[in-house]
Amino acid sequence: MDGPSILHADLDAFFASVEVRDDPSLRDRPVAVGGGVVLAATYQARAMEVNAPMNAATARLRCPSLIIVKPRFDAYVAASRAVMEILERYTPRIEKISIDEAFLDVSGSRRLFGSGPEIAGRIRDDVRAEVDLPISVGVATTKHLAKIASRVAKPDGLCVVPAGGESEFLAPLPVGFIWGVGPVAQRKLAGYGICTIGELAALAPPTIEAWMGEHWGAHLWALANNRDPRPVHGKATAGSVGAQSAGDATDIDKRRNTLLALADRVGSRLRRKGFAGRRVSVAVRFDDMTSVTRATTLPAPIAETDPIYALASSLADSLVAERAEGRRVTLVGISVSLLARTPHLQLTLDVDPQASEGVRPGSPHHLRRRELDRAVDLVRNRYGRDAVRRAALAGAKPEVRAPTEQLDEDGE
């Protein structure tokens, strides 16, 4: 049997680690990055129960000696690029899932660099030597298990789950280690006497589906039994453009305004780079730090702000309605993927104006939005981004996180 070859590389306390690296006086001290809200915290701060996304005033009450530094997103982007360049030495099959973490499939790199665990060790050494940042790596036979292994490895460690030993590794771990299972789901499962992944895996699928819902229950059972067929999407796939905003977005009007600002940013960058995409994804994070994503795929690519916003707001509204369970929404994000160079647009006949008119590629409404965006882009290119703003966003400027707004290198 081949050894594990799926890696999950995750930089530890990334923003905070960059600040400590660049200011040695902060080493071994409780440090948080942020302003009114904590974006990241060192493990010394976490030991005092300071975590993101926590109000800075609450963080200071928990840790009076806490040092809060302002974020430097340019520094984080530069560090992320340096780390990703190291990962690319070992395989082209890299799936970057955020600014500080990525999956790798190194099954085709064994003859050059050795086994999965050996490559993971080399990556950790290179990142420490060249970028001077701590990174934890999990090595397993599936993406889900590799991510769990990297969490077990933290901080600054390496965890290998041998092929054939997956069930033994998972069984004693808390159910909260499963990706997407937050405190609310943990409490619900605990009410049924289920606290570990092994206990969850031993149940019959219909039982979990009755407790948690058909789709979610089946998904949990599959992950608990390490059934995760998802491949690592590497350089052969199209890139993506995304942006996100942290802050209270529980109120539907505030959330929609934030999504409109994000769609405006994502759409304008797609158009500037000459790309359009068929897949629109939305990410929502709750105050218990669980994150959920939802996506829809279109028959043709789009890059216009209004259609992106219409799809994103619909996805986010349904997701929050189904999954909020009384939790606050603390982050929303939009991503457009399955990119292609902006193609010639195939016009569609206006035979059913009620059928998704706002987002139907090639529809009359879509063409009008396309011309409007072109005019806005021309004005902004000449006079600056703030020269034209949407009326819905007048007087408000949702904070868009620059590090998550990016065009993957394979899409440049």
Catalytic residues: 101
The residue count of the chain comes to: 412
Nearest to 71 by CA among 84, 87, 53: 53
Please state, in angstroms and rounded to a whole number, the distance separating the CA atoms of residues 124 and 338.
Answer: 31
Are 200 and 188 a contacting pair, CB within 8 Å?
A: no
Q: Coil, strand, or helix at residue 75?
A: helix
Which residues, in sequence order, are bridge partners of residue 302?
A: 277
User: Quick one: tokens of 232?
Assistant: 């690592």
Give the Å distances, CA to CA, from 412 to 51, 94, 99, 388, 406: 35, 16, 17, 26, 10
Q: Coil, strand, or helix at residue 233?
A: coil
Residue 226's contacts (CB-CB under 8 Å, 6 or more residues apart) are 141, 142, 144, 145, 166, 167, 170
Q: Coil, strand, or helix at residue 289?
A: coil
Give start and end residues of each alpha helix (H) in 98-142: 110-113, 116-130
User: Quick one: tokens of 190?
Assistant: 């605990």
Nearest to 39 by CA among 88, 84, 100, 94: 100
Can you point out the beta strands (E) in 99-221? 101-105, 135-140, 158-160
Buried b (16+ CB within 10 A) or exposed e, 130-154: ebebbbbbbbbbbbbbbbbbbbebb
